[in-house]
Structure 1
């Protein structure tokens, strides 16, 4: 099989059968497209010509180009996924990438906002929503829900009207790998959501060109996209002190850390976040510890 066709088929497999998100599939396709070009420069165009040495040379060249360890790790994972799938489907004689390794990505503590910063953000959004602006009502509901439930941005934009149970204060989301989970949210988020449903969403829906069950709508009445939420959150965080990414994931990090600060059980937070591994959730215990150390150094006379 031609290598470029194999990448297309593998990407379709990830989306249709593995339930990978559109973002992940796009990243894998881009990485493997680079592999196809690298192999092509060496006159290799079919799947049976893939070898461990070729894959290692590709990763080495990527590292020499200055790519981050996290990018190299993703490229390694994409290549291993491809070669494993090729072997399982009989499109290659053997799994060329079974022994392929990549450097472990650097472990950086995620950016976390203080409670005061969150309160200021929500107060500003609430003031804007008071005027009855449909987009203002929507934006307040989005941020309240992101912080209350620690959802991923794709999970928020993927919500439908039937996804929320306002009586039980729960939201049903479809996470990574098409895994469904039910996540709680609080009364402030409920109030913001109700106001959006009563005055915000109907006004936005009037601008729609077709009927939609999407929960959060754009100014044109269509399902709100992830880029719009990124722009919203990055704008809210732009002037706040602190380093690191300034997107919706910051609110997810913040919610998880504040839960652990408040005494929540680590496994309960793992379930809420939809993490497959407890080790992924444990990064937030490190954040809590670092915050405690900072408070200690700032407040204790003999720190």
Structure 2
């Protein structure tokens, strides 16, 4: 037997000494550092499984977590708070998994961030009579002038905030329709996932303020934020997939709207009316935060 084959066999055998920290071991894992004692060079299949389990959370307990997340609003958060955790996917991994899937599906769907109606082919335009065409021509002639003035106002206002921002806006607005759409789409997929993720601590802060005096720590609110937004990403992913199925989309939107107040009652308690008021306030604040995040993302695009 060759030396290489012998080394490979020895490498796969149980190690009496941990190769990571040097401690003496007797089981499947090192008692000092936790590294596995049965070591071997991973195959391509094992590399793929490790990638999926760490970044997409495709593992057995995902389905248990998903079932509770979808059909028992707030129950998964309660389980985690009460110490029953190992049987479920970690909240952060759950959030990241569904957010990755959502943005992948949106990108795959080819959705347009900016619609360019002026780029429609002439054949797609309805036929009109000569007088109507003349009137429409005069109206169209006025519109570019008005829109150009609007663009100038936008550039002027942004320039008062930052000259660099104003120049970036002027450059962006001067792009042809297709290039403008491509730039907007690139900016969306470059900045939106990070902006939305950075809103999670703010979402938790809103919950903390809405439930002052409840005795809940900030970490519990952050946990609820991760679970509720993971659910939102999953439902929005289904919404993208259900393109053309209007009734299915309607049902998904209904459950998306009803989910958050139901989860809030299960986790925090309280009456229906008080929970409804808190829910309305939370949604309004979160929407304002999203608008602010989009504005910041647009600013980053314009100055780059």
- TM-score between the two structures when normalised by the length of structure 1: 0.25
- Structure number with greater Rg is 2
More helix by share: 2
- TM-score between the two structures when normalised by the length of structure 2: 0.25
Q: Which has the higher contact order (CA 8 A, sep 6+)?
A: 2
